[in-house]
Amino acid sequence: MEQPRASAQASAEDRQASLATFLSRLFSDAETLLLQELALFRAELGENAGRLLGGALLALAGVLVVLIGILGLVAAVTILLSGIIPLWLACALVGLAVGAVGALLLLYARRLMQSVSFVPERTLQSLRETRDWADAELT
């Protein structure tokens, strides 16, 4: 009579050990997954920050070029007022050309910065997939 009781007790201990092993692996895998999700999040934010910085630098370059164009126009008006006619025309044309280049740089920088998103889409998608997987595993 002692043997079936001992066998049942050993079976219960085996199940507890299996459950402990399962939970240990589950928490270990969850930790690994969380670390991978955080790494993806950081990479995605870094990518967007790089694009934002590039757009900001282009905007700054555009502003500087527009300012140079405005200085050329100011020089043209100054020279016009001083009475030297051919020189003002050259300054006006150069000022307009430089100003147009600056305006184009600003438009391009604006378009570039509008494409930046601070929402980490890939990370959110990965988290949704993980949630769906966990729901499927638990049901």
Q: What is the pLDDT of residues 18-54, one digit of tens each?
A: 777 877 887 788 778 878 888 887 887 777 777 888 8
Q: What is the pLDDT of residues 81-138, one digit of tens each?
A: 676 666 777 777 777 887 888 899 999 988 888 877 777 778 788 888 888 887 777 7
Nearest to residue 120, comparing CAs of 30, 46, 32? Answer: 46
Q: Binning pLDDT at 50, 70 and 90, where does residue 10 land?
A: low
User: How many residues are given for the chain?
Assistant: 139
**pTM over cut 0.75:** no
